[in-house]
Amino acid sequence: MELTLSIPALLFPAISLTMLAYNARYLAIAALIRQLHQKYQETESESIGLQVKKLNRRLTIIKNMQASAIASFLLAVITMALIYLQYSQFANIVFGISLLALMVSLVLSLIEVQISTKALAIQLKDME
């Protein structure tokens, strides 16, 4: 199959929407950490301290998700430049790496969702 300019261009809207979703997650968790940090300073509750640590882990995962998505986006642009310059062999390799970076980002997203779901399940169990 011949790689054309339109193929890596198809990744642009997908990656952009993915990055928007990642950014929304980041902002929500950052706001929650700020709230919990304030409560922790007032009460010095050990459970709040543990929650902040777990949220910090999620922030690290989200940061890596964003970095992988950005790398995928950048590599898709480089692929298009290589196609334009008629370096098709390099373009194929770079595009493959771009797809791999996008897959890494999505796997990290799955891991972060699993952690988030477990945290919510623990909170719901406390309410029962």
3-state helix, strand, coil in the chain (%, to 5): 90, 0, 10
Q: If 0-12 CB within 10 Å is exposed, 13-18 middle and 19+ buried, where does residue 101 land?
A: buried
DSSP at 10 = T
pLDDT tens, position by position, for the chain (128 residues)? 788 888 888 888 888 899 999 999 999 888 888 888 888 788 877 777 777 788 888 999 999 999 999 999 999 999 999 999 999 999 999 999 999 999 999 999 999 999 888 777 766 776 66
> Which pLDDT belongs to residue 120?
74
**pTM for the predicted model, two decimal places:** 0.83
Query: Is residue 92 within 8 Å of 3, Cβ to Cβ?
Result: yes
Domain boundaries, the chain: 6-127
d(CA 128, CA 65): 34
